[in-house]
């Protein structure tokens, strides 16, 4: 009977905490103030994001899930290429809900592959280590806990197999366009010619549809953003009064930029570790995240500019979302 092989590679937790602290201090001393969206995902943030994905207004998950459930074979056949052994690396794996459809199909096809989920959340990696052996017997798994590029270097050191990278959920949209372009270039630099990237990208659509997804009626997105302040309180000894901040989303249909802010409702001061004091003016904002939307032409241009060749595009039935396969040239 086949059994799953599990291994975890992690960064030092103390180093992660110190990096979190350094990034928070740098961001809150910036003009304008900002916090990195990668820190949304602690145990509480992971749960809130799961709730968000299940709410009526948040369409990206359902769109991409439809692609993965209805076009599984076509996607996997493209990824398997000529049938050689490969490492399937998922950046920001989360609960691996969508990628599980690919993993299951690849196992059924007896593909020679090794799954390496990468996530900054040790909670996520621990969850995958517990669940994947049960749900997918026979799967070889090496969980990588840390920043994307650090862990891609680690993955490259573990084997010389061809790399197939998954970057799903429109995570590439969590950066301004110029940063996304640079990210794709860096990603290409961590890959070899013949490696592949499967990237999920949210498309431009009716502005009301987009904005509702980031301002749901149940306030899940609001709690998701505010949880980062709670996390800073919990892990970095800060004294944010979360009730004195308000969630505010915007969407610009011209540029495709959907942004989230936290607005200070009073003049106030916040201490972090009892030594760093951050002042907020009434109505001052903290820039929290961007969810950038693209059209198909823009995605092809981004691929080419980063050194990839667009191979395949898979649409959902509404044509709101794509999963594109790019080949490293």
* Assigned domain for 18 exists: no
Which stretches of the chain score pLDDT less than 70? Answer: 1-13
One domain for residues 87 and 47: no
For residue 312, is it within any domain? yes
Structural domain that includes position 148: 5-11+57-205+294-328
Q: Is residue 157 part of a domain?
A: yes
183 with 214, same domain? no
Does one domain contain both 109 and 48?
A: no
Please tell me the total count of domains within the chain.
2
On whether both 223 and 256 belong to a single domain, the answer is yes
* 190 vs 115: CA distance, rounded Å: 17
Q: 124 and 154, same structural domain?
A: yes
The Cα–Cα gap between 32 and 37 comes to 15
Whole-number pLDDT of residue 94? 83
Position 12 scores a pLDDT of 58
Q: How far is CA 6 from CA 60, 92, 100, 126, in A?
A: 30, 18, 16, 11
Report yes or no on 307 lying in a domain: yes
Q: 212 with 299, same domain?
A: no
Among left, alpha and beta (phi > 0; psi -120 to 50; other), residue 43 is alpha
List CB contacts of 1: < 8 A, sequence separation 6 or more.
137
- Asked whether residue 164 falls in the same domain as residue 222, the answer is no
pLDDT digits (tens, 9 = 90+) for 23-69: 999 999 999 999 999 899 888 998 998 899 889 999 999 999 999 99
The count of other CB atoms within 10 Å of the CB of residue 241 is 12
Residue 247 parent element (H or E): strand 245-252
- C-beta separation of 225 from 288 below 8 A: yes
Query: If you average pLDDT over every residue of the chain, what do you get?
Result: 93
Residue 25 included in any domain = no
Strand partners, 313: 324
pLDDT of residue 15: 78
137 in any annotated domain: yes
CA pair distance 62, 89, nearest whole angstrom: 22
| Contacting residues for 77 by C-beta, under 8 A, at least 6 apart | none
With beta carbons less than 8 A apart as the criterion, state whether 123 and 46 touch: yes
Whether residues 178 and 311 share a domain: the answer is yes
- The CATH number assigned to the domain holding 303 equals 3.40.50.150
Q: What order do you get walking across the sheet with 285-292 strand by strand?
A: 33-34, 285-292, 257-264, 245-252
Is the domain of 130 the same as that of 70? yes
Q: For the chain, how many residues are written?
A: 329
Whether 93 and 190 map to the same domain: the answer is yes
Q: Which pair of tokens denotes residue 324?
A: 């594109």
Phi and psi at residue 319, to the nearest 5°: 60, 40
Tell me how far apart the alpha carbons of residues 74 and 119 are, in angstroms, rounded to a whole number: 26
**Residue 237 maps to a domain:** yes
Instruction: Verify that 188 and 121 share a domain, yes or no.
Output: yes
- C-beta separation of 110 from 65 below 8 A: no
- Same-domain check for residues 39 and 182: no
């Amino acid at each position: 009977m086949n059994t799953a092989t599990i291994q975890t590679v992690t960064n030092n937790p103390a180093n992660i905490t110190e990096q979190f602290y350094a990034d928070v201090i740098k961001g809150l001393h910036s003009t304008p103030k900002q916090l990195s969206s990668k820190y949304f995902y602690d145990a509480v943030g992971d749960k809130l994001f799961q709730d968000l994905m299940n709410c009526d207004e948040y369409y990206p998950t359902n769109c991409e899930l439809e692609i993965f459930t209805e076009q599984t074979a076509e996607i996997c056949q493209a990824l398997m290429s000529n049938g050689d052994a490969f490492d399937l690396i998922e950046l920001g794996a989360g609960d691996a809900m969508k990628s599980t459809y690919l993993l299951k199909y690849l196992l059924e096809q007896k593909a020679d592959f090794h799954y390496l989920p990468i996530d900054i959340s040790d909670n996520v990696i621990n969850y995958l280590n517990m669940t994947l052996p049960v749900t997918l017997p026979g799967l070889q798994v090496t969980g990588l806990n840390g920043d994307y590029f650090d862990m891609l270097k680690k993955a490259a050191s573990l084997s010389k197999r061809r790399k197939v990278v998954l970057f799903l959920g429109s995570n590439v949209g969590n950066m301004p366009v110029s940063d996304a372009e640079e990210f794709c270039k860096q990603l290409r630099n961590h890959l070899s010619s013949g490696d592949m990237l499967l990237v999920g990208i949210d498309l431009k659509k009716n502005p009301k549809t987009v904005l509702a997804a980031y301002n749901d009626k149940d306030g899940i997105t609001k709690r998701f953003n505010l949880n980062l302040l709670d996390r800073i309180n919990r892990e970095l000894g800060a004294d944010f009064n979360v009730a004195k901040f308000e969630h505010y989303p915007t969407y610009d249909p011209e540029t495709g930029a959907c942004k989230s802010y936290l607005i200070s409702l009073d003049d106030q001061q916040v201490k972090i570790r009892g030594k760093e004091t951050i002042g907020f003016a009434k109505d001052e904002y903290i820039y929290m995240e961007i969810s950038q939307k693209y059209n198909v032409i823009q995605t092809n241009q981004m691929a080419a500019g980063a050194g990839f060749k667009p191979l395949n595009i898979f649409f959902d039935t509404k044509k709101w979302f794509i999963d594109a396969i790019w080949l490293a040239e």
